[in-house]
Amino acid sequence: MWTFIHKWGSPKWFYAMSARVQPWCWAVSLLLIATGTVWGLAFAPTEVNQGQGDSFRIIYVHVPAAFLAQSVFVSMAAASLVFMVWKIKVADMAATVMAPFGAVMTFVALFSGAVWGVPTWGTWWMWDARLTSMLILLFLFLGVIALRGAFASRDSGSKAASVLAMVGVINIPIIKYSVDWWFTLHQPATFTLTSRPAMPTEMWLPLLVMVLGFYGFFIALTLMRTRNEILRREMNKRWVIDLIREAR
């Protein structure tokens, strides 16, 4: 068991093994996303209860992106913890490549939320509790990325970014609940969507497919970018030089 885990910690082993897993991840995730997109956009019934019409279909991008935004931060912090405790470099490489992806997903969630806000709330931006926490999450991602880039030595940057990611992940629930509290105190009267009617099965099933597809995409992309990061960092190692020579 432990030797199995330790093997994955070696960049060379990780590079070789992920090559086998990666195509499957891509195939499954792209298939799921394609299915979910067609199903959600063309076949799922139109929303009638709140009169949102077809605009509700933004949910098929918005919700998976929002899920991922938070999951990516947690995964990044978990990878950082593994790196800090066991000094496994692959974990740090994974954390490195996760941060920009998480920031993009947070931005996608915010942007699709803003676009969705126009037909439903009549405005691009509301200081809604969820939008506000998402915005703060985006700043946390940007902070981690900026801190990593600010150090001259990559090792110090990795460690500093790891500490910040772990501090951030402890703070995320605190921020989330305090923003919820803040929002209930300042709830604007214009926006009352508190009693959310249950979504019919035909609507949430494609959503589930999309969420799974997005997670698969996250795994596939992280594998791919971690592999690139391995090559970049181990550029001068014997096995990488051999690998490049073979490819030529």
List interacting residues with other proteins (CB under 8 A).
Answer: 84, 136, 139-140, 142-143, 146-147, 150-151, 153, 155-156, 159-160, 163-164, 166-168, 170-171, 174-175, 178-179, 181-182, 185
CB of 25 to other proteins, least distance (A): 32
One DSSP character per residue, the chain reads -HHHHHHHHSHHHHHHHHHHHHHHHHHHHHHHHHHHHHIIIIISPPB-TTS-BGGGGGHHHHHHHHHHHHHHHHHHHHHHHHHHHH--HHHHHHHHHHHHHHHHHHHHHHHHHHHHHHHHTSSS----HHHHHHHHHHHHHHHHHHHHHH-SSHHHHHHHHHHHHHHHHHHHHHHHHHHHHHHHHS--TT----SPPPPPHHHHHHHHHHHHHHHHHHHHHHHHHHHHHHHHHTTTSHHHHHHHHHH-
Nearer to other proteins, 123 or 171 (CB): 171
Q: Is 226 exposed, middle or buried (0-12, 13-18, 19+ CB in 10 A)?
A: buried
Instruction: Supply 78's token pair.
Output: 């978990």
CB of 133 to other proteins, least distance (A): 9
Instruction: Supply 237's token pair.
Output: 């190692």
Nearer to other proteins, 64 or 102 (CB): 102
CB of 236 to other proteins, least distance (A): 20
CB of 164 to other proteins, least distance (A): 6
Nearer to other proteins, 115 or 172 (CB): 172
Nearer to other proteins, 140 or 220 (CB): 140
> Which residues does residue 47 pair with via DSSP β-bridges, in sequence order?
53
CB of 218 to other proteins, least distance (A): 23
Nearer to other proteins, 170 or 198 (CB): 170
Nearer to other proteins, 173 or 197 (CB): 173
CB of 215 to other proteins, least distance (A): 25
Nearer to other proteins, 12 or 159 (CB): 159
